[in-house]
Structure 1
Amino acid sequence: MSTERLEFFDAAAVLFDLDGVITPTAEVHMRAWSRMFTRLFDDRGVRPPYTDADYFLHLDGRPRYDGVDSLLRDRGIDVPWGDPSDSDDADTVCGIGNRKNAFFSSLLAAEGIAPYPGSLAVLDRLGSLGIPAAIVSSSKNAVPVLAAAHLADRFPVIVDGVVAQDEGLPGKPRPYIFLAGASRLHVDPANAVVVEDAVSGVAAGAAGGFGLVVGVDRGVGSAALRDAGAHVVVGDLADLLAAEKGASL
């Protein structure tokens, strides 16, 4: 375990997922998905009803439209894919995804967001060591979330859902957006760290050949993160600072 802890703070760069890793926006996303799908399923008489298990199985860490498509297929609902420009009342995968984003934006505007204290402390430590950090997120809301959390200047590289769409990068669990982040930071993935709280994101980091994949257990479960390829699982990023000082993870 000591080697793994040294690898984190000796890395050439650290690539962080955003929601659930740097900021508790995963909770906001969960509530937005729940409100949207509960209403949608009620209107359609779909059973079983939406639960948090659906979030972890179909939505967590995935590009928004891919998640919508996965959950609709699970419930036997067939709607056209549509186009990202669809209005949020359109009966398409994209329209439904855009409807969820409207819920999310409303919650973010009303409540704001603050980073996890432990994550902020790790960013401070990386900054003191001169180790660059990137955000690699499936979300198309990464930039406004970072702005709301006053963290935009912490990350010289942001590869998010907008970048992925513009550049045709397949989403997690495939590794391409993490590899794009490493390329923009001019580092070899073998010398870089991925930090993720989603099974799909951990799997993407492992598939990309990153030197260390850290899973952050915000509810999905340590075993699931390890099974997906995490070398280390922590409950909070502050655990990494304690480990650097010699404490056990």
Structure 2
Amino acid sequence: MTAVLDSQAVLFDLDGVLTDTAAVHRRAWAALFTEFLPTVAPEAAPYTDADYFALVDGKERAAGVRSVLASRGVSVPDGELDDPPGATTVHGLGNRKNVRFTEIIRGDGVAVFDGSLRLVDAVAAAGIPMAVVSSSRNAVLVLATAGLLDRFAVVVDGVLAHDEHLAGKPEPDMFLTAARVLGVGAAGTVVIEDAVSGVEAGRRGGFWVVGVDRGTGASALRAAGADAVVTDLADLLPE
């Protein structure tokens, strides 16, 4: 499967695609909702990793909070982006989760998938432009901590999406913005994603989409529009 090395450009999601930070996000989201949901919906089903994959994975932080709360019939005010972590607002809850996430990252560091690093090296050696497209507002921190920041000329993340009023995944705006900055079109450009919402965003944008199954399930990724599904990015290298 060598289509990636024949492409105009490659747009990588970050968490769960390049770095093993999706597991950190799962831990941080679980800590938030395991603590918070019983205080507002004691009869509701406990939060599980299935909720992460179905309701949170790949989405902008506030959208993830809203999705989980709505699934339990809970509504809180949106509040403001800089609400303190103790605020019972969408942004406050999102910021509470982010405190936990950054604590783990700063304490444990960031692991990079070996197969992903091998693919990044191969794409760079082929002279193909690359970008990171992540809903996370921590993308630059994660890339810097992992030693990957200098590999990518373009990073379209949650901070840029907010500042530029870009719709988040599953809308294609963030991928289309990255392609535009790199000077390429969607046709012939590859998107690599592990989340259903990200795969759907790539499909809507007209990109060739590779789904990376890190737990979401190959069938769910294909149903969302993945043209190919792998379990390791090294599978995209020539044999």
> What is the TM-score normalised by the length of structure 1?
0.94
Distance (Å, rounded) in 2 between the aligned partners of 1:126 and 1:68: 35
CA RMSD of aligned residues (A): 0.8
Query: Is 1:153 the equivalent of 2:150?
Result: yes
Q: CA deviation at 1:6?
A: 3.5
Q: Which residue of 1 aligns with 2:219?
A: 223
Query: Is 1:57 the equivalent of 2:57?
Result: no
Query: Is 1:176 the equivalent of 2:173?
Result: yes
Q: Which residue of 2 aligns with 1:8?
A: 4
Cα-to-partner distance string for 1:189-226 (whole Å, 9 max, x where unaligned)? 1020000000000000000001x200000000000000
- Structure 2: which 5+ runs fail to align? none
Cα-to-partner distance string for 1:129-167 (whole Å, 9 max, x where unaligned)? 001110000000000000000000000000000000000
Distance (Å, rounded) in 1 between the aligned partners of 2:2 and 2:205: 21
Alignment of 1:42-191 (within 5 A): 42-44=38-40, 45-191=42-188
Cα-to-partner distance string for 1:85-129 (whole Å, 9 max, x where unaligned)? 111101100000000000100111110012100000001101110
Q: CA deviation at 1:79?
A: 0.6
Distance (Å, rounded) in 2 between the aligned partners of 1:232 and 1:78: 38
The residue type equivalent to 2:123 in the other structure is L
- Structure 1: which 5+ runs fail to align? none
Distance (Å, rounded) in 2 between the aligned partners of 1:233 and 1:153: 27
Does the aligned pair in 2 maintain the 1:164–1:171 contact within 8 Å?
Answer: yes
- SS of residue paired to 2:31: helix
The residue type equivalent to 1:156 in the other structure is A
Distance (Å, rounded) in 1 between the aligned partners of 2:43 and 2:121: 47
Query: Is 1:29 the equivalent of 2:25?
Result: yes
- SS of residue paired to 1:174: coil
Query: Is 1:238 the equivalent of 2:234?
Result: yes
The residue type equivalent to 1:139 in the other structure is S
> What is the TM-score normalised by the length of structure 2?
0.98
Does the aligned pair in 2 maintain the 1:84–1:94 contact within 8 Å?
Answer: yes
Cα-to-partner distance string for 1:42-66 (whole Å, 9 max, x where unaligned)? 3332521111111011100000001
